[in-house]
Structure 1
Amino acid sequence: MAQTQRPDAVTPVFLLTGFLGSGKTSLIRRLMESPHLTDTALVINEFGEVGLDQLFVQSAVENTLLLENGCVCCSIRGDLVDTITDLFARAANGEIPAFSRVIVETTGLADPQPIIAALQTIRSSRPVVLGKVIVTVDGVLGAQQLGSADEAVAQVVQADVCLVTKAELSNPNAINALVGELHALNPNAAVEVLRAGSFDPDLLLAPSGSRLAAPSTYRLAPRRVRGSQVVRHRSVESWSEEIEEPIMWSRFRDWLDLLYSLRASHLLRMKAVLNLVGHRIPHAIHGVGPLVGALEPFGDWGDDTATSRIVVITKGMDAEIIRQSFRALVLPGRAQSERSADHGGVGSS
């Protein structure tokens, strides 16, 4: 009998991407072989690329396959949104089993940004939330690809989790250097080096309620950025900052409005977990490309100090401009102190 699910249940959609040959196929196999992922819908580009033979296809409904392990698998038919919407409709009609999560696998040259934007437009029988962007990075060729392929960089800067594959085929020093480069490109992403016995599909796909993770729900938390930091990688730059004093939401909102009205085409990613004036719990907000989500509550601080953490990743734009505008509009007192210090501590009369 097909599983049933409350019509108001939220379904997380996990985007799995990675450059050509980085190990997405192997990762999908490992994911789908997990006994706890039976109620999963997998949307892929080509069945043959994933190698589903060993999973023993039981039956097929047009382009939708029901696998022996209970998972539903289908190929993208032109439009991703239509494909996922169709899956929900079939599950509601009892044609296929109900599912509680969706995994979308992209091509190796895909830029996640338009795909993420498309996922945010899905209107189906059940609410959909973007769970995580998971990126596989080749442990042997990853550094070379990041240095020569804009697509590889675009995938990393959009990631919530970076999985370094083929570590056993590479020099440990090279792996450490690659991990450092990934942290530099996307300081707020969790980075995991896949090794034998270290892979936990359930933890990787655990819905977090928000794409922002502070700390990450995966094995390795994002690297903590102390103070203010600007990192440059070819045409991509990132600005990261931690602020201990509470921030006024009205000032932060006005800064975002200005930033996105003037520079939206240069913005790749924005993430923030905020310690707001008048609020005892953290609030999160994130942007992908020119799209910015709503401010939403984000759990609690737990053992962490109530500290705002912000990351903005740009392309073709000086991240120092981001830092200066933030200081001027959101932290005007700190900006004034810095200007006074630059002039020998002498303020205006």
Structure 2
Amino acid sequence: MTDTQLRKSSDKTPVTVLTGYLGAGKTTLLNRILSEDHGKRYAVIVNEFGEVGIDNDLIVGADEEVFEMNNGCVCCTVRGDLIRVVAGLMKRQSASGKGGFDAIIVETTGLADPGPVAQTFFVDEDVRAKTQLDSVTTVVDAKHLPLRLADSREAAEQVAFADQIILNKTDLVSAAELAEVERMIRRLNPLAPIHRAERSDVPLDLVLGRGSFDLARIEEIQPDFLNPAHGEPGHVHDDDCDHDHDHEGHHHHHHDHGGHDVEASGIRGISLTSHRPLDANKVTAWLNEVLQTQGPDILRAKGILDVAGEHRRLVFQAVHMILEGDFQGPWRDGADRYSRLVFIGRNLDEAALRAGFEATAA
């Protein structure tokens, strides 16, 4: 794929972006990460301690910007550019005689769009060479999410952008309300796993070190990752589908589930699939064109593509206008080859996207 490749290296420091609307519970989760005996050292980048509310007892000593936590974590406030802060942490990492830290957590303000934060780890070559975006985790409040989605574009973007979602405060809603909230989340993001929690009490291995931004790894673990479950928006009925249906395999179907209107944000997920091999030049040109012309409206895009004449899968991810991808593991022997893409964004023209995708067939 043109321009850049998704580089994976064990010597890169993984980065988890932790986001969520004000009051969702992400600070509670962050304090758990800083205080639990997990055997790892984390560098944590936060906006300002005054806003974030990190437990002051965790802070041992401080200079102007870097704080030592009592479990060995290092914490920074983002008073300047994120790239500069990350670069400073990586210099500290290299200079450390104690092995430095194992990973970085970036906690965004509750009103922030996580997109530009995630982009930081792709656009700066120095940061990119030393770090690897592991996942974007969004914490949401089960009780207040419907209201947040109705009045906040940022809340919708945080859900849409997530690689995984912590559905917090589930004890404050009924089973029916919880199911409805999950349907609302699925309308915005058909891909991210949803983990229910009370007081952000979710196992940390569901949040940290997930490799969720490594699409090839996730697809190996969960082959149907890019195909939402039956009855969910974006589900693709294909040859591997054992559901009783009359639909043709190569079509995408979008179902309207009613309920709360989460379309006010204009955000939705669109899935496209094909069982015809694709022309590598055509599909690359099409993806580049889509991202250049619609990049600001496309929060995330992910795909696994079957390229004619190639035994390996072409795996790509996009964050707004930044496209990352390369050929990765081979197709399994005897497995049905297919191409599947998922776009998550606002004001997307599903018919135009499908037509463009189908035109890339070899």
| Band of TM-score, shorter chain | 0.7 to 0.9
Alpha-carbon spacing, 1:111–1:34, altered in 2? closer, same or farther (3 Å): same
CA deviations on 1:32-90 (whole Å, 9 max, x unpaired) are 233225321011112242332343x3332332111121111111122111111111112
Unaligned runs of 5+ residues in structure 2 are: 1-8, 230-234, 238-251, 256-261
- Name the CA distance, whole Å, in 2 between partners of 1:87 and 1:11: 11
- Name the CA distance, whole Å, in 1 between partners of 2:46 and 2:302: 28
Contact 1:183 1:191 in 2 (8 A): no
Query: Residue in 2 aligned with 1:190?
Result: 193
Query: Residue in 2 aligned with 1:226?
Result: 236
Query: Residue in 1 aligned with 2:307?
Result: 276
- Name the CA distance, whole Å, in 1 between partners of 2:157 and 2:294: 18
Query: Residue in 2 aligned with 1:247?
Result: 278
- Name the CA distance, whole Å, in 1 between partners of 2:326 and 2:189: 21
**Cα offset for 1:209?**
7.5
Tell me the amino acid that sits aligned with residue 173 of structure 1. A
Task: From 129, 140, 145, give the equivalent of 1:142.
Answer: 145
- Name the CA distance, whole Å, in 2 between partners of 1:217 and 1:24: 27
Alpha-carbon spacing, 1:233–1:165, altered in 2? closer, same or farther (3 Å): same
TM-score for both structures, normalised by structure 2: 0.78
SS in 2 for 1:283: strand
Contact 2:168 2:199 in 1 (8 A): no
- Name the CA distance, whole Å, in 2 between partners of 1:308 and 1:162: 26
1:149-160 equivalences in 2 (<5 Å): 149-160=152-163
Task: From 263, 271, 289, give the equivalent of 2:320.
Answer: 289
Unaligned runs of 5+ residues in structure 1 are: 1-6, 333-349
SS in 2 for 1:21: coil
Q: CA RMSD in A?
A: 3.1
2:116 matches 1:114: yes
Alpha-carbon spacing, 1:196–1:216, altered in 2? closer, same or farther (3 Å): farther
Contact 2:135 2:212 in 1 (8 A): no
Contact 1:268 1:288 in 2 (8 A): yes
Contact 2:83 2:120 in 1 (8 A): yes
Task: From 286, 289, 302, give the equivalent of 1:258.
Answer: 289
- Name the CA distance, whole Å, in 2 between partners of 1:175 and 1:95: 48
**Cα offset for 1:97?**
5.6
Contact 2:195 2:202 in 1 (8 A): no
Query: Residue in 2 aligned with 1:92?
Result: 94
2:92 matches 1:82: no
TM-score for both structures, normalised by structure 1: 0.81
Alpha-carbon spacing, 1:229–1:120, altered in 2? closer, same or farther (3 Å): same
Tell me the amino acid that sits aligned with residue 21 of structure 1. G
Query: Residue in 1 aligned with 2:55?
Result: 52
Query: Residue in 2 aligned with 1:174?
Result: 177
SS in 2 for 1:130: strand
Alpha-carbon spacing, 1:325–1:283, altered in 2? closer, same or farther (3 Å): closer
Alpha-carbon spacing, 1:86–1:150, altered in 2? closer, same or farther (3 Å): same
**Cα offset for 1:140?**
0.3
2:211 matches 1:201: no
SS in 1 for 2:100: coil
Query: Residue in 1 aligned with 2:241?
Result: none
SS in 1 for 2:253: strand
Alpha-carbon spacing, 1:37–1:116, altered in 2? closer, same or farther (3 Å): farther
| Stretch moving more, 90-99 or 279-288 | 90-99
**Cα offset for 1:116?**
1.7
Contact 1:39 1:99 in 2 (8 A): yes
CA deviations on 1:149-198 (whole Å, 9 max, x unpaired) are 11111111111111110001111111111111111211122221125897
Contact 2:275 2:338 in 1 (8 A): yes
Alpha-carbon spacing, 1:125–1:186, altered in 2? closer, same or farther (3 Å): closer
**Cα offset for 1:12?**
1.3
- Name the CA distance, whole Å, in 1 between partners of 2:320 and 2:38: 34
Query: Residue in 1 aligned with 2:45?
Result: 43
Alpha-carbon spacing, 1:163–1:301, altered in 2? closer, same or farther (3 Å): farther
Alpha-carbon spacing, 1:168–1:285, altered in 2? closer, same or farther (3 Å): same
Contact 1:13 1:132 in 2 (8 A): yes
CA deviations on 1:320-342 (whole Å, 9 max, x unpaired) are 32122212x1248xxxxxxxxxx
